[in-house]
A and B are shown apart, each in its own frame.
Chain A
């Protein structure tokens, strides 16, 4: 059984690694705590120890064990906090070098994809908008894809599990996020904020493909008729 779905992003491994690091501390803490909890139930059962020892915890020789445990916990806390910081700044801040710009707008009940058009700039007249349920966002592999996340109506959640990325789409805000996918494939986007009756049907895809296939796709997209462009979009 795979614990995580396949990771195909450049930063996803850091999240998985953080999980395993935390698991080391959690595992040790759990085993020791269970022992501390259960052992006295056997060793100090009243049939074995009819009279209890009078320990109030006021003596340091007893209380020090609590302190030691807390210091160890504090130490593991700091290790976790320290380890997480780099990945956090990397994921939450868009890289300086952005290869592809797209717009992702959430609405009830699909994600709308906006391609920048031949001029490569979002927000211009030649942008192409794909607004359908179950549609796919095509991106090239091994490129920094930066997207502008918006919502048209209520709060939605953009979740691309195979990259580990998640971000709520909040109406009234534009948020910049990014990913860089290293393997070709078709990956699920799901919505992680309950948004109404068809919240369970809100599922689109990211199709990551080679630069060649990507260019082929965008060419046919920009040249095709029948797709909404920014000028015809209402």
Chain B
């Protein structure tokens, strides 16, 4: 009956812990902190967009150079230092070992190292704000020659160039990639090797499947960008000409290397959140997940397709028009497997017995918003329409309608769902509902009208539209102001969550009956105590059935947990 009980000091228990739950928390908390940074940057430049030249409360005047840097860093931070740690590393670390019924990851020390490398990468990125010249301001896409040490950022001295905003950003991203690679290896090896007895492939919960597929996509698409980033760093620091047309280099090479990874990356971010939906929707519908196996196959098809569509980001970059047609076809077709997954989630609802508890509200809200984001992708997948829409606010709105629900609604759904398990306490559900409605409403207020700004020709990454007649007219100027007001309210709404979080954590632990399996879910993590001890399970579970056995017609039980025999 002994759990792995070795003596743990404060340092080994909380700081350099190899326990996957602690590491998962560390990633999640880091992600939340970085979301604060990214959100603050957005507040600043959104304020500037509504009131150009004004003195921004809590900041002051925003120069064009700062605007460019903040827009760039907002994007970088949200993708790599919020989305990835919160959805992939956070959820993966917290849940994979518990959901497959094991004690920890396959390589716990590597896991611990991965977090600290990630932590350092965040520090390197934040440091780039404070070096001479400030953070890099050429878009998160870092297109050379602008990013290759040209013209404004270039310094002839090796160390000044090495510690320039551009170089530090490249180094930060590279370190983040190393951390994610280490984590990804852990996820995949753990899932293959450490599953509980009886957990065959098609009894694995979808979240675990999707976290693994996401990890594999990441690991096999990031390589060319690592190579390309190394080349870009050398261009900056040493003065090579990989991307310098005067020296036979080609800026478009960077675009290909970047987007070859950049596109699959959005699916790396999306799949874990879809996994969260797959766990939540059956529980609150008391119905099996509809089309479990096809969902897995559809995800695998999407994973393969995801590396074949990248150049839809480059339709107007000067690629061969025939190549563009090929990528347009792939891009439009990739909507099919994802539509299949979403339709299956929605089919799970039909004929169910639905409770709209807080996690379920976030899940439904996710789907509603992602519908808009995904469908607007259909416009952009067409190379012809993209000629007009590329680099306008239509694109910006599209990717916020996909990424925001993905990262934030997905994360909050997960938090409200698994909070009792990991803390032994409960979040206030009235505040949770208020948090949801405010976020949903203000998100739409921030973004929906900007579709029209984009369609009217408003291009992006501009700090002041004074010279552009297409934008400096009504209703578009008013839309900008509405957007900014709602953005501020959106950010403020998150404090409802933080208040709920801290006050709930401050309370005493709840009785076991309330927090062990409050949602009556069938997966393995709910067998462990709340919170699970080091080693997770007093008695390791064995698995007798799939993960979504709810409302079986010939059973008097409402649901059949995976680990209970004899039912």
- Residues on A lying within 8 angstroms of B by beta carbon are 1-5, 14-15, 18-19, 22, 25-26, 29-30, 33-34, 36-38, 40-41, 44-46, 49-58, 62-63, 65-66, 69-70, 73-74, 77, 80-81, 84-85, 87-89, 91-93, 108, 134, 153-155, 157, 159, 161, 164-168, 170-173, 175, 188, 190-201, 203
- Residues on B lying within 8 angstroms of A by beta carbon are 64-65, 67-68, 71, 137-139, 143-146, 150-152, 245-246, 249-252, 285-292, 294, 316-318, 321, 324-325, 328-329, 332-333, 335-336, 339-340, 342-344, 346-347, 349-356, 364, 367-368, 371-372, 375-376, 378-379, 382-385, 387-388, 390-392, 452, 455-457, 459-465, 467-470, 475, 548, 550-553
List of A residues within 8 angstroms of B292 by Cβ: 56-57
Cα A207 to Cα B538 in complex, Å, equals 78
What is the minimal beta-carbon distance from B152 to any residue of chain A, in angstroms? 6
What is the minimal beta-carbon distance from A19 to any residue of chain B, in angstroms? 6
Cα A167 to Cα B285 in complex, Å, equals 49
Cβ A52 vs Cβ B356 within 8 A: no
List of B residues within 8 angstroms of A50 by Cβ: 353
Supplied contacts A52-B351, A77-B333, 7 more A-B pairs, CB within 8 Å: A33-B371, A37-B364, A52-B551, A57-B291, A63-B291, A73-B336, A166-B387
Select the residue from B65, B250, B347, B459 with max chain A CB neighbours within 10 A.
B459
Cα A85 to Cα B452 in complex, Å, equals 25
What is the minimal beta-carbon distance from B163 to any residue of chain A, in angstroms? 21
What is the minimal beta-carbon distance from A194 to any residue of chain B, in angstroms? 4
Cα A49 to Cα B467 in complex, Å, equals 59
List of B residues within 8 angstroms of A77 by Cβ: 332-333, 335-336, 378
List of A residues within 8 angstroms of B329 by Cβ: 81
Cβ A168 vs Cβ B316 within 8 A: yes
Cβ B321 vs Cβ A166 within 8 A: no
List of B residues within 8 angstroms of A173 by Cβ: 245, 252, 318
List of B residues within 8 angstroms of A165 by Cβ: 387
Cβ A30 vs Cβ B375 within 8 A: yes
Cβ A44 vs Cβ B339 within 8 A: no
Cβ A22 vs Cβ B385 within 8 A: yes
Cβ A108 vs Cβ B467 within 8 A: no
Which residue of A30, A57, A154, A167 is within 8 Å of B316 (Cβ)?
A: A167
Cβ A155 vs Cβ B462 within 8 A: no
Cβ A154 vs Cβ B151 within 8 A: yes
Across chains A and B, which 10 residue pairs bring their CB atoms closest together, nearest first? A172-B245, A57-B291, A161-B457, A53-B351, A192-B391, A84-B384, A40-B349, A154-B146, A57-B290, A52-B353
What is the minimal beta-carbon distance from B135 to any residue of chain A, in angstroms? 14
Cα A168 to Cα B316 in complex, Å, equals 6
Cα A41 to Cα B361 in complex, Å, equals 10
Residue of B nearest to A163 (CB): B388
Residue of A nearest to B147 (CB): A154
List of A residues within 8 angstroms of B371 by Cβ: 30, 33-34, 37
What is the minimal beta-carbon distance from A26 to any residue of chain B, in angstroms? 5
List of B residues within 8 angstroms of A34 by Cβ: 368, 371
Cα A85 to Cα B285 in complex, Å, equals 44
Cβ A4 vs Cβ B321 within 8 A: no
List of B residues within 8 angstroms of A22 by Cβ: 378-379, 382, 385
Cβ B340 vs Cβ A55 within 8 A: no
What is the minimal beta-carbon distance from A152 to any residue of chain B, in angstroms? 10
List of A residues within 8 angstroms of B347 by Cβ: 55, 57, 62, 65-66
Name 8 interchain pairs, CB-CB below 8 A, sorted by A.
A1-B475, A25-B378, A37-B364, A44-B352, A66-B344, A85-B384, A166-B391, A200-B465
Cβ A74 vs Cβ B245 within 8 A: no
Residue of B nearest to A191 (CB): B459
Cβ B352 vs Cβ A49 within 8 A: yes
List of A residues within 8 angstroms of B457 by Cβ: 4-5, 159, 161, 188, 190
Cα A70 to Cα B338 in complex, Å, equals 10
Also in contact, A41 and B387, with CB within 8 A (given A62-B347, A69-B339) = no
Cβ B321 vs Cβ A92 within 8 A: yes
Residue of A nearest to B392 (CB): A192
Which residue of B285, B368, B461 is within 8 Å of A44 (Cβ)?
A: B285
Residue of A nearest to B141 (CB): A194
Cβ A70 vs Cβ B343 within 8 A: yes
List of B residues within 8 angstroms of A153 by Cβ: 145, 150-151
List of B residues within 8 angstroms of A65 by Cβ: 343, 347
Cβ B464 vs Cβ A200 within 8 A: yes
Cβ A54 vs Cβ B139 within 8 A: no
Cβ B318 vs Cβ A168 within 8 A: yes
List of A residues within 8 angstroms of B349 by Cβ: 37, 40-41, 44
Which residue of A41, A51, A171 is within 8 Å of B356 (Cβ)?
A: A41
Also in contact, A201 and B343, with CB within 8 A (given A44-B353, A45-B354) = no
Cβ A52 vs Cβ B143 within 8 A: no
Also in contact, A199 and B352, with CB within 8 A (given A77-B332, A170-B252) = no
List of B residues within 8 angstroms of A172 by Cβ: 245-246, 249-251
What is the minimal beta-carbon distance from B238 to any residue of chain A, in angstroms? 19
Residue of B nearest to A168 (CB): B317
List of A residues within 8 angstroms of B475 by Cβ: 1
List of A residues within 8 angstroms of B352 by Cβ: 40, 44, 49, 52-53
List of B residues within 8 angstroms of A49 by Cβ: 351-354
Cα A80 to Cα B381 in complex, Å, equals 10
Select the residue from B250, B347, B465 with max chain A CB neighbours within 10 A.
B347
